[in-house]
Structure 1
């Protein structure tokens, strides 16, 4: 299913296929800053989520959420504006984009009976495609920094770019196949056709079996297990975490 467009809200979005078509993936919404913060704070302070994340601060505070949203909104706006222009002129662009604006997983609770576009929804998770951080090199190492620099310098659409997937889902929605289908939708409907994604990787803590299985269901394979590799913050228990690296084998 291609990118959809709600002309009432001027919002492009992705929709998961049946049997989960009530789940959509949208950009961050500037006009819903407060609602988004209220939804994300309890999720990112839930040990069932934050103990499986490598990058988010803990405790996750309002200022973290607000800064993250503002950064994401500013970066995505040129892409969203280009998509709006495509839909309003019925002319699809041919250029590749250098980022993924679709990051918020939502459950639709009300939709327009005539158009089927969402009218009301609830934030239930997060997903995104970003440039890979090269976890196979030690944190803080010159090798990691150089690999990130070289990857970051490649222009949008370059098939040599190594991309990464990150995600989380509200625990009350676990076990329904949502994240597996959201990942597939994001890759098929945006990553491949609009970013020219060829190389896609992810990292998960070794004990995060559920996340690893989601990747495996989407044609990722485990390529490496790095024992006691990443230092873990003291306020999350400290010590070292083992990382499992997975790599996408394509559609």
Structure 2
């Protein structure tokens, strides 16, 4: 089974392949709320990260992080519990899920000598999959809202769902191929087998060359470039940015 199981903490997780097997992707942990929020505040106020993101508020405050982690824990718990049950009872039915609870990228700093279970780790990034927002239809348009509505109404496992993927990684870990393998791992170990993903699109600001390389290495192709398209909040400098839309061609 592509999903691993920490017998020490009872936590399911994904593990990157060699030579990056010290990197894992886990659900959020409410037990580490303070630690996680501190790491998020540090990373999401880093210019090399927040200037390439559209969604999180800036400046990113502790209350933003606390709300986010609690919501992610609540949203992910049903899936995490179901996966845990699969390990404890291999005969448990394995349905398609409507989300991926494995979003927190961590570097393992200590593992069990006999089991190999991660015992200590540090948060270094985030990766998430959501239903696609249809950026090419234009912000605030009825056409975009209708496309989102129809896509969101499709049931879990429906191969017609258009998904999207986004991520960020600590600058201290750039240049090591971590995000390329993290994206590949999430797709091949969870997105395809457990969400039945067939359609996947995403985007990056045109100047975000690092993310565009990660997409390229994961078999995405450029669909189009939308010039001066995405509105930028005043806290991030205002104006608009050009978006590159990419489409996944499969594993």
TM-score (structure 1 length as normaliser): 0.98
User: Alpha-carbon deviations, 1:114-158, whole Å to 9, x = none?
Assistant: 010100000000001111111111111111111111111100000
* C-alpha separation in 1, matches of 2:199 and 2:68: 26
Map of 1:51 onto structure 2: 51
Query: Residues 92 and 21 from structure 1, CA distance in 2 versus in 1: closer, same or farther, beyond 3 angstroms?
Result: farther
Superposed, 1:224-239 pairs within 5 Å as 224-239=224-239
What's the secondary structure of 1:136's corresponding residue? helix
Superposed, 1:147-162 pairs within 5 Å as 147-162=147-162
1:39 and 2:39 aligned? yes
User: Alpha-carbon deviations, 1:152-190, whole Å to 9, x = none?
Assistant: 110000000000001000001000000000000000000
User: Alpha-carbon deviations, 1:78-114, whole Å to 9, x = none?
Assistant: 1011111100012253310000000000000000010
* C-alpha separation in 2, matches of 1:100 and 1:109: 24
For structure 2, the 5+ residue unaligned runs are none
Map of 2:62 onto structure 1: 62
Q: How far apart are 1:67 and its partner, in Å?
A: 1.0
What's the secondary structure of 1:57's corresponding residue? coil
Map of 1:184 onto structure 2: 184
* C-alpha separation in 2, matches of 1:95 and 1:235: 42
Q: How far apart are 1:238 and its partner, in Å?
A: 1.1
Instruction: Kindly indicate whether the alpha-carbon contact (under 8 Å) linking 2:108 and 2:121 is maintained by their aligned counterparts in 1.
Output: yes
Superposed, 1:3-42 pairs within 5 Å as 3-42=3-42
* C-alpha separation in 1, matches of 2:67 and 2:140: 24
Superposed, 1:66-85 pairs within 5 Å as 66-85=66-85
Map of 2:165 onto structure 1: 165
What's the secondary structure of 1:28's corresponding residue? coil
* C-alpha separation in 1, matches of 2:30 and 2:55: 23
Instruction: Kindly indicate whether the alpha-carbon contact (under 8 Å) linking 2:129 and 2:165 is maintained by their aligned counterparts in 1.
Output: yes
* CA-based RMSD: 0.9
1:122 and 2:113 aligned? no
Q: How far apart are 1:36 and its partner, in Å?
A: 0.1
Map of 1:110 onto structure 2: 110
User: Alpha-carbon deviations, 1:199-232, whole Å to 9, x = none?
Assistant: 1111100000110010000000000100000111
* C-alpha separation in 2, matches of 1:189 and 1:106: 17
Q: How far apart are 1:7 and its partner, in Å?
A: 2.0
Bigger drift between 138-147 and 175-184 goes to 138-147
- Runs ≥4 in structure 1, deviation > 6 angstroms? none
* C-alpha separation in 2, matches of 1:134 and 1:52: 18
Instruction: Kindly indicate whether the alpha-carbon contact (under 8 Å) linking 2:138 and 2:144 is maintained by their aligned counterparts in 1.
Output: yes
Map of 1:88 onto structure 2: 88
Map of 1:133 onto structure 2: 133
Task: Report the number of matched residues.
Answer: 251
For structure 1, the 5+ residue unaligned runs are none
